[in-house]
Amino acid sequence: MKPSRKYLSLPIISLQEGQQIGYVKSLILDASTKSLAAIVVDPKGLFKDQRIIPYSKVVSVGDDAITIDKESHVEKTSNLPELLDLVKGKLTIIGTKMVTETGKTLGTAEEYYVDPKTGEITQIEISGGKLEGFLSGKAWIAAEYITTIGHDVIVARKESENVLTVADKGISETFKNLIHSTSHLASETTHTISSYFKKDKAKTTAQTAQEKTPIIISETETIPATDETVSEIPVTKEPLG
């Protein structure tokens, strides 16, 4: 798949004449078929006035050039009435808001990708909308979910937000911070609870030990002596004489 921007400024080569006949100035879209209808040739080439090439006449789209069979495939717009309205319409995808059939904003189209062989649009890259606040990177929606490409709005099928392909690296700092804060809070909570149970366990153990510890009297400890009272035994004296 080729991004539309990669088409711009590519040299256009005529295979039969073996010459460069100009550069790609812009692309003509056909909303009804969701594909490229034609290529607008930069008038700074061999032609003084604007010319177009029907996409059906394109032989190949390479990394460095676009090729066509012969120069005669480059024609004036007035000679191609079936494309005249499309050229005048100047339909574009980039910068157009995308919403679902239920009125939910998906974002703004930033780029679209084309199958070079057929000219069919395969997917559209979007940003903002549903992604805003959580994902600041790229997301794509397949062309099969697009029902209408208009001048003001691109319409996608209902619930298309569920089929978006989101780049993993598109997670914003806000979302990262949210995840970090939640994890940190959970960690702190776990630590606090753990500490509580450890302290409670230690306290319970100490109390139990205190209750069960017997009172031991040291052998070296002496019992203070009490005052002893000696009773005198009376002696009976026999009477004299």
* Residue 132 phi, psi dihedral angles, 5° rounding: -60, 135
Partnered with residue 148 across adjacent β-strands are 155
pLDDT of res. 166: 85
Residue 135 is predicted with a pLDDT of 47
**pLDDT, position 52:** 95
Over residues 48-73, the pLDDT tens digits come to 678 999 999 999 999 999 999 999 99
Q: Compute CA distances 120 → 23, 114, 123, 169, 178, whole Å.
A: 21, 6, 9, 28, 40
d(CA 50, CA 225): 131
Structure tokens at 209: 């030990």
Name the helix (H) or strand (E) containing 82: helix 81-89
Which residue(s) pair with 36 in the sheet? 29
Residue 29 CA, chain-centre distance (Å), reads 29
Residue ranges for the chain with pLDDT beneath 70: 43-48, 129-137, 168-241
pLDDT at 221: 45
**β-bridge mates for residue 142, sequence order:** 123
Contact in structure between 138 and 165 (CB atoms under 8 Å): no
For the stretch 82-119, pLDDT in tens is: 999 999 999 999 999 999 999 999 999 999 999 999 99
> Considering Cα of 77, then 78, then 80, then 83, what sign does the dihedral take?
positive
Mapping DSSP onto H, E and C, the string for 176-231 reads HHHHHHHHHHHHHHHHHHHHHHHHHHHHHHHHHHHHHCCCCCCCCCCCCCCCCCCC
Q: How many residues does the chain have?
A: 241
